[in-house]
Structure 1
Amino acid sequence: MATERLYLVTYDIADPKRWKYVFKTMKGYGRWLQLSVFQCRLTARRRAEMAARLEELIKPSEDHVLIVDVGLADRVSPRVESLGKTYTAPTRRALIV
């Protein structure tokens, strides 16, 4: 199995229509945490694919996407402090296709 890394992806998209396309795209790569924040476990290939797809969708002069590499997915345990609404960390589940 290819090595997966954990990424936090957050974005600020100026146009609501583009925001919707970015949101739908990100749902295919990770778990939604908040309005414009996703947690993703990705191989290098999937990460490159995601970045390329996002570059096609955004308008660089108006939009901003941050991809934060947290580390090896199996070796990192993010510590999250949540203020306000209850936060439940995403869990990894097997998916049979």
Structure 2
Amino acid sequence: MDERAFYVLAYDIADDRRRLKIARLMESLGERVQESVFEAYLTPRELERLLKRVERVLVVEEDSLRIYRLCGGCKGTIRTLGRARLTPPPGAIIV
């Protein structure tokens, strides 16, 4: 079984219709943490499937998607302020 990695995905989509489609794709696999920023725990296969779906919508001359994979050590250095909270791994129980 493929191991999940923690990703931060951020997009800048020029067109409202494309932006909505991309947002729905991201929401299907991750958690929205800002208007156009998502956090997700993905396997390599899930990431590739997501990227193929995004490529069908995204216009490379107008839009952008950034994908940051964070290692366990890097993830441990994330700092948040205000209401922000780090997305828990799948299956984690928050009390």
Q: TM-score, normalised by structure 2?
A: 0.84
Q: Which moved more, 1:15-24 or 1:85-94?
A: 85-94
More helix, by proportion: 2
Percent identity over paired residues:
24
1:1-97 mapped onto 2 (5 Å cutoff): 1-71=1-71, 76-82=75-81, 85-94=82-91
Q: Which amino acid aligns with 1:77?
A: G
Structure 1 Cα separation of the partners of residues 31 and 16 of structure 2: 20
Q: Which amino acid aligns with 2:84?
A: Y
> Any idea what SS the aligned residue of 2:29 has?
coil
Runs of 4+ in 1 over 3 A off after TM superposition: none
> Any idea what SS the aligned residue of 1:90 has?
coil
Question: Alignment RMSD, CA only?
Answer: 2.2
What is the deviation of 1:5?
0.8
What is the deviation of 1:51?
0.9
Specify every segment of 5 or more residues in structure 2 that has no aligned partner in the other structure, as ranges: none
What is the deviation of 1:78?
4.8
Specify every segment of 5 or more residues in structure 1 that has no aligned partner in the other structure, as ranges: none
Structure 1 Cα separation of the partners of residues 13 and 55 of structure 2: 12
Conservation of the 8 A alpha-carbon contact between 2:40 and 2:87? no
Q: Which amino acid aligns with 2:78?
A: R
Aligned residues: 92
> Any idea what SS the aligned residue of 2:20 has?
helix
What is the deviation of 1:43?
0.6
